[in-house]
Amino acid sequence: MNYQAMLAAVLLIPLLGALLNGFFLRRAPRLVTVTVGTLAIAVPFVLSCLLVFGPVSAGEVIRTELFSWISVPFNEGRLEVPFGLSVDRLSGILLLIITGVGSLIHLYAGEYMSHEEGVYRFFAYLNLFVFSMLSLVLGSNMVVTFLGWEGVGVCSYLLIGYWYSDEANARAGMKAFVANRVGDLGFLLAMFMSVKLFGTLDYSRIAEALTNELAAANAPLLTAIGLCLLLGVTGKSAQLPLYIWLPDAMAGPTPVSALIHAATMVTSGIYLMTRMSFLLVHSPAAMTTIAVIGACTALFAATIGLVQNDIKKVLAYSTVSQLGFMVLGCGVGAFQFGVAHLMTHAFFKALLFLGAGSVIHAMHHEQDIRKMGGLIKKMPITGWTFVIGTLAIIGFPGLSGFFSKDEILYYAWSGTFGHPLLWVLGALAAACTSFYMVRLTYLVFFGESRVEHAHHHHDHGHGHDHHHHEIHENPLAMTLPLMILAVFSIIGGYVSMPHAIMHMLGIHAGENLITQWLAPVLEKAKVVMTAAHGEAHGSAALEWGLMGTSTLVMLIMSGFAIALYKAGPKGGESIAKAVGGLYRLILDKWRVDELYQAVIIEPLKKVGDGFFKFGDRALIEGIINEGPRGIYLVTSVLSDIQSGLVRNYLKVVFVGILALCVWIFI
Amino acid sequence: MVTLISQWILSLLIFFPLLGAVLVAFTKDAQKARHLAVAVSVLEMIFSFHLIAHFNVDSSAMQFAQDLAWLPRGTGIRYTVGVDGLSLLLVMLTTILCPLVFLSSYSSIGSNVKSFLALFLVLESAMIGALVSLDLVLFYVFWEAMLIPMYFIIGVWGGKDRIYATTKFFIYTVIGSLLMLVAFSYLYYAHYQANGIFTTSLIELYKTAAALPAGVQMWLFAATALAFAIKVPLFPFHTWLPDAHVQAPTPGSVILAGVLLKMGTYGLMRMSIPMFPQAAHDAAPFMIGLGVFGIVYGALIAWRQTDIKKLVAYSSVSHLGFVVAGMFAFNELGFTGALYQMVNHGVSTGALFLLIGVVYERRHTREMSEYGGLAKQMPWYAFFFVVATMGSVALPGTGGFIGEWMILTGVFQVSPAMAAVAGTGVILGAIYMLWLVLKVVWGPLNNDENKKLTDCTPRETFVLATLSVFVFATGFLSVPMLAHTEPTMKKLQQSVSKKEAYKTELVIRGTSDEPMRVMMNGR
């Protein structure tokens, strides 16, 4: 099989899986559904490995065009949008994450959803999601990416509302879709501007067309494109101000949260910014805005995470915060570390979500961490892998998060568009991360058990009726993915080893692995940045200093969290009381949802009502019904009886025929 | 034989449903009449495939033309018909949608079945006739002929307030028609004054009209554009539509949304714009403005409706705002997108009205609050509902996306601000449509009445599945489909942007030396 065909197969096999499960295997036994669903991702994973470790790692870019999708005459030429796919080193990384982590999560989901009826629907959606996500990263032009971009939005909508019988779930799905659509408008506008400026939407053609002269002549337009792309990113990657959908998205089954709302879909924004890095770097204004949005989101979401009591909500806000780090990394010009953190985050956050799912599954859908505690004795694999995930995310030296996050923080200070203030925001966010993650881990897995023994069954509208009271470890189908992800959460970060450490270890490769790997993709951006701003201005001393500071902060905050919650969840109450109103404000998530409701949704509803009542009913209808009395009379006569109606109707037709005759014969 | 068919195909397409109407009227049994109507419309559809199979995709001329004497010679009124890239897709939409509508009428129409079917077949004739007419009087006759069956379809088989609704529909349309008639008469005499002969040939009058002084052009443009804008319906001439939709029986709503509204946008593209290019240019900012305002206006009102049919009706106001805005951008993207969006709107909104009909027949209510949780009871119904919704919100992969994307890209080239405002329609569309889905399909199945609902019957499934296939087929096969329209759109764009008369010609098969080519697979 040649590489083009393999590339097409990688994209189409998940679609095939979705169609099989959605239409043809509706009555098939559960095992068949799960096997088909998982294989539809595992086979593409194998093919992806062959592609990425074969030609792509050798520096090739594999391209193929499936068919011509849009083709319209445009100005003097044509606007051609083929359904084109390409895989280079950037999409290669995402390809491996999507299919690799995706396969593990599919395997896990087969067991997690084992008590559900009609699980074919779940796997059909999940495969369709992977198809969409793959078109997002494999698309060789912005329109194919947009197909994936909106496609993942729809699958997310369907999966969040998977248990649709509870209207709250369906509403959460709708909220996600609408918030994403706001961002999608930004993506659309960026496309329109690209068409206007470049006459093409193909990434490589845009890159060719964007010369320094063109950039200099169209600086405001490039900034506008950058900001519109950023709007898209804030929607899909849950950044301020559009992040509000992601915490609600936790209404979906937990494997969905792991795959979609942690490892893949929400990182699309980082992919897009890296893909368009050659364009973004032309606009310092756009880059700075991106960095500021990322840093603010990282801190803002982390503060909310401090006080949540729902295991999935903590992880959700943590995801928003971590995505903020990645966006910050892109914004300061360190795209490769945005991608590196995307990858390590995919490992440890998927691990944490799947671990949370394992707990929730064992506890029959209990999600309140105040009712857990001491679970590590009953669920050792889940517990210890969760601990590894936590150490990775808080940046414990040697684990993956340490490398990727510290590189971002270092560049936040010293990168091309970096500033010490951005580092401060990031470091504060990292401090909060250490606190809430250790708090979460401690309250769930350590200390005294607070599990209520007279366990009442929480029904989320997905009726399974068995009752196990004993909490125990889950089967291998669920723990195996945990263990694999734990391994990668430990080692995944070595690709972005800081210079300082490389020196210390005597590695003189020049650049770390991720920088080398992504060099072809980021080459143009680097040239532009170096030309305009010189080489990045860091030093080994600064690197050591920042690394030491964040490690110290991490240790202090973790120790503080353990000390505070040693005696159970009540530990935090004294602080909560001390800050009073602020605590309640943070607990209510800064009341942003309420703000949007009051400032945007309700006024829009009023405008809609006003249009209907005053525009349609009073004004237009008024003029038409009341204005010309003649018409009104006809209306009233006609609405009397049908015979009258027909008579009058015939009159009008007669007048019409008369007019026609007059016209013809005179 | 093929040449002979090509010569007569359009007349066959126009008059065959009329023949069917006569046959249906003389059928004894209502059920047999239904079968007959389906058979006639399916045959009609098969006939229409001849157009696709033998259409010359490289030509912008009027193909399959026929030009026969009709009224006395001195009047210059002839029977002239032909299709080009503009009308072809709409003819196909009509012939494909009609059989589906007849299938849906098995359950939705219970009384006076034969009259209904006969009227509906007459309507099909009139629609095809209006789309292929190249003579203004012939066009006017078909235009009015569409009105009569629709008037009765709403007035006799409609809901509680059908008389009010149908009268409103009638008066609005007639006012528009009369204005159009005035404009046509003026042109008729203007041509006589300039050339010394009378003619109502559209192709001739393009030249006459474009040569008129700018001031006169503007008046005539206004008269015709108003007539078509009412039909579209463009804000602020849309208030007849929600009433008509709400009262119309399901098949009526489907054909109203699917084809009849497109007569307005078709008229703008066939007559108002190419006839009066100068005036169209002057009016373009205003027309784009109305279209874009209508997008937002219709969407916000749709969101606030509790009557499902009214919601979808207002969504049409919003969607057709896109179409009008697109065509007045005067670039190929805008024209092509507008045309494509007419087809897509027909498919997805047609499907939505059919879906509403399915539950209306079971529950006899259109109130959103009466439903909820239908996915549990009617999984296939829920599936089709979501598919139609995705088509309506222009998800990439559906035809709606291609259409809206082209329109917005086209509008952006002339006015980024207008495109940005129109773009909010993308968000608002998601809001009102997903709200509808949330309230009807998702949520708990609380209402006891709904617990007795049965999923789609095989006939309903067939109709909805067919439309669902079209929702996605139009999303991926736009290139082969739009290949048929490209020369026409290009010519339209060129003549309008140069403010020249639109030039086209009749190609009568068998008389020209143009070789017959089979163009099944695009270019």
DSSP state of A23: I
Per DSSP, helices labelled H in A370-419 are: 380-394, 400-414
The span from the CA of A10 to the CA of A45, in Å, is: 8
State which residues form the domain around A633: 628-666
Look at the block and give the residue holding tokens 């929600």. Answer: B242
A460 touches chain B (CB under 8 A): no
- Mean pLDDT lowest among A295-304, A452-461, B25-34, B492-501: A452-461
All residues of chain B having their beta carbon less than 8 Å from the beta carbon of residue A196 are 412-413
In angstroms, the Cα distances linking A205 to A175, A199, A276, A518 are 36, 9, 12, 19
Q: Does residue A572 register a pLDDT over 60?
A: yes
Per DSSP, helices labelled H in A446-492 are: 476-491
- The dihedrals phi and psi of A511, each to the nearest 5 degrees, come to -115, 155
Look at the block and give the residue holding tokens 């998205």. Answer: A249
Cβ atoms of B493 and B330 within 8 Å: the answer is yes
Residue A415 lies in a domain: yes
Residue A508 lies in a domain: yes
Clarify whether residues A122 and A243 are in a common domain: no
Within 13 A of B518's CA, how many CA atoms are on the CB side? Answer: 4
Clarify whether residues A52 and A184 are in a common domain: no
Min Cα separation B304/chain A (Å):
6
Cβ atoms of B168 and B240 within 8 Å: the answer is yes
The span from the CA of A135 to the CA of A157, in Å, is: 18
Q: Which two tokens stand for residue B266?
A: 């078709």
| Structural domains of chain A, count | 3
Which value, in Å, is the radius of gyration of the alpha carbons in chain A? 28
Q: Which A residues in the span 69-108 are in contact with B, Cβ-Cβ below 8 Å?
A: 69-74, 79, 83
**Which amino acid makes up residue B51?**
L
**Percent of chain A's residues with pLDDT above 70:** 90
Burial A581-598 (b: 16+ CB within 10 A, else e): eebeebeebeeeeeeeee
Give the chain A residue nearest B412 (alpha carbons): A192
Clarify whether residues A12 and A136 are in a common domain: yes
Identify the pLDDT of residue A632: 47
Residue of B164, B189, B333 to mutate, testing the A interface (most A Cβ within 10 Å of its Cβ): B333
Local structure of A640: helix, strand or coil: coil
Identify the pLDDT of residue A472: 85
Identify the pLDDT of residue B72: 83
- Chains A and B: how many Cβ contacts under 8 Å? 175
Residue A603 lies in a domain: no
Peptide bond between residue A55 and the one before it cis (omega within 30 degrees of 0): no
**Which amino acid makes up residue B436?**
L
Question: Which residue among A79, A173, A638 sits closest to B167, beta carbon to beta carbon?
Answer: A638
Helices (H) and strands (E) in chain A, counts: 30, 2
| pLDDT tens digits, one per residue of A264-321 | 999 999 999 999 999 999 999 999 999 999 999 999 999 999 888 999 999 999 999 9
CB contact under 8 A, B239 and A649: no
Residue A611 lies in a domain: no
Task: Give the mean model confidence (pLDDT) for residues A490-515.
Answer: 82
Q: Is A191 left (phi over 0), alpha (psi -120 to 50) or beta?
A: alpha
Residue A128 lies in a domain: yes
| pLDDT tens digits, one per residue of A391-415 | 999 999 989 999 999 999 999 998 8
**Of A140, A156, A190, which residue sits at a domain end?**
A140
Within 13 A of A365's CA, how many CA atoms are on the CB side? Answer: 18
| pLDDT tens digits, one per residue of A82-140 | 999 999 999 999 999 999 999 999 999 999 988 888 889 999 999 999 999 999 999 99
Clarify whether residues A97 and A211 are in a common domain: no
Residue A362 lies in a domain: yes
Identify the pLDDT of residue A642: 44
All residues of chain A having their beta carbon less than 8 Å from the beta carbon of residue B486 are 72-73
Residue A33 lies in a domain: yes
Residue of B380, B401, B442, B461 to mutate, testing the A interface (most A Cβ within 10 Å of its Cβ): B442
- The dihedrals phi and psi of A69, each to the nearest 5 degrees, come to -95, -50
| pLDDT tens digits, one per residue of A410-435 | 999 988 898 999 999 999 999 999 99
0.90 surpassed by complex ipTM? yes
Indicate the domain borders of chain B.
2-497
Task: Give the mean model confidence (pLDDT) for residues B15-19.
Answer: 94
- Mean pLDDT lowest among A232-241, A647-656, B333-342: A647-656
Give one DSSP letter per residue of B316-331, joined into a string.
Answer: HHHHHHHHHHHHTT-S
Neighbours of B359 (CB within 10 A): 21
The span from the CA of A378 to the CA of A473, in Å, is: 6
Give the chain A residue nearest B299 (alpha carbons): A608
Q: Does residue B262 register a pLDDT over 80?
A: yes
The span from the CA of A96 to the CA of A107, in Å, is: 16
| The Cα angle at residue A642 between residues B231 and A644, in degrees rounded to 5 | 95
A629 pLDDT tier (thresholds 50, 70, 90): very low
Clarify whether residues A280 and A396 are in a common domain: yes
Give one DSSP letter per residue of B211-245, joined into a string.
Answer: HS-HHHHHHHHHHHHHHHHHHTTPTTS-THHHHHH
Cβ atoms of B290 and B324 within 8 Å: the answer is yes
Give one DSSP letter per residue of B264-281, joined into a string.
Answer: HHHHIIIIIHHH-HHHHH
Instruction: Evaluate the CA torsion angle B295, B297, B298, B303 in order and state its sign.
Output: positive
Clarify whether residues A524 and A510 are in a common domain: yes
Clarify whether residues A640 and A519 are in a common domain: no
Nearest to B174 by CA among A635, A624, A664, A656: A656
CB contact under 8 A, A616 and B442: no
| pLDDT tens digits, one per residue of A524-543 | 999 988 888 776 666 888 88
The span from the CA of A364 to the CA of A449, in Å, is: 16
Q: Which two tokens stand for residue B470?
A: 């079209």
Q: Is A61 left (phi over 0), alpha (psi -120 to 50) or beta?
A: beta
DSSP state of A259: I
Q: Does residue B520 register a pLDDT over 60?
A: no
Q: Does residue A216 register a pLDDT over 70?
A: yes
The span from the CA of B184 to the CA of B178, in Å, is: 10
Task: Give the mean model confidence (pLDDT) for residues B170-194.
Answer: 89
Q: Which helix (H) or strand (E) holds A69?
A: strand A62-74
Task: Give the mean model confidence (pLDDT) for residues B368-385.
Answer: 92
Contacts of B385 (CB under 8 A, 6+ apart): B355, B374, B437, B440, B441
Residue A567 lies in a domain: yes
Clarify whether residues A284 and A418 are in a common domain: yes
Clarify whether residues A655 and A539 are in a common domain: no
The span from the CA of A148 to the CA of B396, in Å, is: 8
